[in-house]
Chain A
């Protein structure tokens, strides 16, 4: 950090800290504690609390901790709510200067056909900030899915989130590519969150407690990505009683156990592919079927409560995909990739107003493809090792002022080594120390305003990059309506080499000398309202810039001997759009309709004459309607209707060929193209339906799910493939998924 930056930063730090000292001198009352599930004692993140008859309220943090301070002595009526749980009301009394510990336990709302009791506007509206979505595991498990319930595919239904195609679970959020979303599992970065070549994600729905998606405009607590943050927490484990369950599905099966022990709890969840018998049966009949294919993942968490104020947990994840395909005699491919993450977390109450969280994280991603043809081998080794320490401090000074500070420091090593025919042809080892310091202030000058400002300072030693990212969001509440606006700067130091069709070769590269970090500014506007009880409507608009994008140049035939910076192409982009979400949250029929209108563009040298063009995943209109209907206590029907205008593609406008190519076959044809990706495929449309029957199995609760994906077998087009063996050139449509029935059976004990 240079001298002037240090001075500026110290000033800002002191400015942020000053109310702390002022507040200390006042003697007021307050309540604090944790909000938990009454049956399992799982902490509930971002749950809402409100003092009835006042405008005082708050939300629990990502550890389930809340604090309401600077209250006058007296008796209050507290209301606490969380989606999927019964609203709790309880009375409490405070004396002068009393700080009362009040842990709150909410009961799950088992009666899904009941009406939600509306308590207050503030309580309901407190939930969502601009650009934020909270995804429930029930949605993930219930919505019709392709072969396996999947976290990412459920997220793809949200407005502002798009998928590239039916085969990919990657997230394209607000015009950004998948590497522009930071993915955290128990505060640890996950670098390749996909199984089965990108078909679905590595997150086991049985293991997950909470998913928060910040589509854009995320606050200073997070950083390192231009676009979005997906913050996922695994369950802590049931602290009241032992629970277990299993699910048998067509692609994979899952099992989990959780329960209490001494002063804590545990959770373990395992998932493994079960498609091998099918592949074995097909192996002799169809060529190209893998000789070996499996994936598995394991999640675990151990929690230990040292006392009421100190808790420790250790969490881990490990997952592997392995496939061996002998595609011809003397020719085979072996693909091996996976992730391992681990974290040690200590959260502690320093005082009723001050909550701290310390985390040590470790993350490893590896990708080791090998091809052998006629005794000639091609191999690649790509490894990422990322170890870090984080400390976050929440200071809930008063109803008007809350502060958050934090530091994140780590060491990352990225290795990429290619070899051909036994000889190393490319090797890159980059090691960077990185750190980030942030401060955030939430100010509520009165009942209707909320202003959140923050600064995040990022540093990467490789390249000696120092970047300052400011953040600001403003919210104004009216009766039943909240208006929000945000603006922020975002830096990114990593780029992902990937292919929308296949994520098995994903490789991360880092900013370095000659490769500056990317930077973007995001603007957001939003309006959220409760139309009538149980029906919410959100409208958001966004605009974002992307400067200094760095991507591996796809036309580089061979990286050997090139300087690191010469591997890349450098460009820019932008995206803007409007998102609308209409949601019905209670009654027999629940669900939502999400609509996105979005535009995204890129510009790179040697592409499209350096003019802006649409990337493939640019779709102008995107609508998803998800519905769930409780037929009766035993049967639930679900459906998803998806419609999107066509993806961009390049239409060749002419053809020619070479006749005397010294390096090719005769008559090597190639295209003359106009504007890159200026044409649109036909619209995409798909309907999925499902039915779930709830029953019992040896004392456990069972669920039989029958689903049909693409029930009308619509032939959605993925891309066009050109056949130059025909003259004139032939064109074939390569289609996306046909109709697929799936069945799964789950039991919980």
Chain B
């Protein structure tokens, strides 16, 4: 009896000491990608599937080519009031395009519905609220000197989003990438890496309204940080407000590759807000300004560069 008790105790200990989680194996997931931009045409939609890590990834391998796709416009009661059908684009696997011209309405709800016809009509659905319209009411300069005391500041009207402050992403796009790099970006470029095309567009992190000066009239003034400028010359400055889907998707995707408090090797899920799949069905509203950024002789003296 005592021997049996001891045996069972040891076996229990061995069983308990084994890890209670089993290793996960690859399972196909459908991936949606599209971004609705207020006051702009409905964009293409890409439908793919995830692939195992040890397979070569390409649209040819991952694209899903047999799906029925519709985007519905919803009213305040979430009732469908209009719809837009997508069709498979002829040339590229996984790419779907709207069947007619239509503009995305700001401050409006939209619903996405997909049926994958060669997978027993597997259903994928998602919703988004497009941020409200805003305008650039003033920009203090159209030409600025790099790292001058006077920073480029653009003032925007507020963009409506229900129940929260607006979330912004600033993008600086160099229109001419053949020119000279600013000193910091010249110093981090080694043997052509990163490429000029990779440096052409710089995005900020997600910024809340509280990062900026909110004026008494409710307008928001945003100053361009010099860190975002990789080239001298003509630039587009794009300010975008984003919906909850892009906010959740971008912030959780960023932490997949590390974060301030995330241990190396620990990877979290993406928050995708998509039923029946993953990816992003997001929306934004954006405004673009142009500015010319000239060289600063003092910076040139301190950090000479030929790049």
Contacts and interface: CB of A to CB of B under 8 A. Distances in A.
Interface of A: 164, 328-331, 373-376, 420-421, 423, 425, 497-501, 505, 551-552, 554-558, 560-562, 597, 599, 606-609, 614-617, 620-621, 647-665, 668-681, 718-720, 727-729, 731, 734
B126 interface: no
A133 to B, nearest CB: 23
A554 B50 contact: no
A554 to B, nearest CB: 4
Contacts of B226: 374-376
Contacts of B206: 557-558
A599 B286 CA distance: 49
A380 to B, nearest CB: 11
Most buried by A among B22, B31, B187, B263: B263
A314 B54 CA distance: 63
B21 A678 contact: yes
B50 A330 contact: no
A347 B103 CA distance: 79
B191 interface: no
B171 interface: yes
Contact of B52 (A555, A621, A653, A719): A653
B208 to A, nearest CB: 4
The 8 closest A-B pairs by CB, nearest first: A674-B24, A561-B210, A719-B265, A654-B50, A376-B227, A560-B210, A650-B267, A649-B265
Contact of A374 (B26, B147, B264): B147
Contacts of B18: 620
A202 B255 CA distance: 31
Contacts of A499: 260-263
B184 A330 contact: yes
Given A328-B187, A501-B263, A657 B57 contact: yes
B198 interface: yes
A10 B17 CA distance: 47
Contact of A672 (B34, B188, B264, B278): B278
30 contacts: A328-B187, A329-B183, A330-B303, A374-B147, A423-B223, A499-B260, A554-B255, A557-B251, A561-B208, A608-B268, A615-B263, A616-B263, A621-B17, A651-B23, A654-B29, A656-B29, A656-B31, A656-B278, A658-B280, A663-B169, A670-B256, A671-B256, A671-B267, A674-B27, A677-B266, A719-B265, A727-B56, A728-B53, A729-B53, A734-B264
A719 B280 contact: no
Contacts of B37: 662
Contacts of B261: 497-499, 551-552, 554
Contacts of B17: 597, 620-621
Contact of A659 (B13, B33, B171, B253): B33
A744 B182 CA distance: 47
B135 interface: no
Contact of B183 (A374, A376, A500, A679): A374
Given A374-B183, A647-B265, A674-B25, 5 more contacts: A374-B227, A555-B252, A606-B269, A656-B31, A678-B23
Contacts of B23: 651, 678-679
A650 B265 contact: yes
B187 A558 contact: no
A718 B24 contact: no
B264 A560 contact: no
A505 B53 contact: no
A552 B286 CA distance: 31
Contacts of A551: 261
Contacts of A500: 263-264
Contacts of B55: 728
B240 interface: yes
B276 interface: no
Contact of B227 (A373, A620, A649, A652): A373
A552 to B, nearest CB: 6
B178 interface: no
A378 to B, nearest CB: 9
A615 B263 CA distance: 9
Most buried by A among B20, B255, B269: B269
A558 B58 CA distance: 34
Contacts of A329: 183-184, 186-187, 303
A652 B56 contact: no
Most buried by B among A562, A654, A655, A675: A654
Most buried by B among A425, A655, A668: A655
B68 interface: no
Nearest to B31: A656
Contacts of A609: 269
Nearest to A662: B35
B211 A560 contact: yes
Contact of B208 (A558, A617, A652): A558
B67 interface: no
A628 to B, nearest CB: 30
Contacts, number: 233
Contacts of B267: 650, 652, 671, 673, 676
Contacts of B253: 668, 670
A534 to B, nearest CB: 28
A329 to B, nearest CB: 4
B143 to A, nearest CB: 18
B184 A373 contact: yes
A650 B257 CA distance: 12
Interface string B188-208: 100000000010010101111
B264 A557 contact: no
A421 B225 contact: yes
Contacts of A677: 266
B171 to A, nearest CB: 6
B124 interface: no
B230 to A, nearest CB: 9
A655 B50 contact: yes
B21 A675 contact: yes
B184 A374 contact: yes
A159 B31 CA distance: 46
Nearest to B193: A725
B50 A675 contact: no
B174 interface: no
B130 interface: no
A555 B259 contact: yes
A681 B23 CA distance: 12
Given A616-B263, A653-B25, A423 B51 contact: no
Contacts of A331: 184, 187
Given A654-B52, A659-B46, A678-B24, A672 B227 contact: no
A420 B50 contact: no
A213 B264 CA distance: 28
Contact of B53 (A423, A655, A681): A655
A676 B266 contact: yes
A159 B58 CA distance: 49
Contact of A651 (B19, B24, B203, B256): B24
Contacts of B269: 606-609, 673, 676
B53 A555 contact: no
Contacts of B262: 499, 554
B271 interface: yes
B207 A558 contact: yes
Contacts of B48: 656
A500 B269 CA distance: 20
Contacts of B286: 662
A728 B251 contact: no
B61 to A, nearest CB: 10
Contacts of B207: 558, 560
A655 B17 CA distance: 32
Contact of A653 (B24, B225, B251, B271): B24
Contacts of A558: 205-208, 211
A660 B44 contact: yes
A656 B50 contact: yes
Contact of B254 (A330, A373, A557, A648): A557
B147 A554 contact: no
Nearest to B198: A665
Contacts of A661: 35
